[in-house]
Amino acid sequence: MKMIQAIIRPSKIEDVKTALDSAGYASITSIEVKGRGRQKGITQTWRGEEYKVDMLPKVKVEVVVASDKADEVAEIIRKSAYTGSIGDGKIFILPVEKAIRIRTGESDGKAL
């Protein structure tokens, strides 16, 4: 099993959810986070004064799937989260050792 973690723009979460759901991947977790990438934040102007925002709001999406589906899910997320601008985010694919469904005790693939 693999966990796909994606850090995306908050404005793209609905597009990502819709794309994953359409492809049959309905089980996701999303968490509101803050972070920065290579650009180290952005400079904004408010009432004529410039200020730096160095931790930008993002959404972290997590999906656990069978190992052979990880690349497919990552590509769905990449395409649906894409804007073409700096700050679109990152996708990480990590191994998952075990999954257990709390209600039934089922494990691994059956727990997904």
CA 109 to chain centre: 21
59/35 Cα distance (integer angstroms): 10
Give tens-digit pLDDT for 4-23: 999 999 999 999 999 999 99
9/52 Cα distance (integer angstroms): 18
Domain 2-111 CATH assignment equals 3.90.1150.10: no
Give tens-digit pLDDT for 75-104: 999 999 999 998 899 999 999 999 999 999
Contacts with 89 (C-beta within 8 Å, 6 or more apart), sequence order = 6, 7, 8, 9, 58, 81
pTM (two decimals): 0.85
90/60 Cα distance (integer angstroms): 10
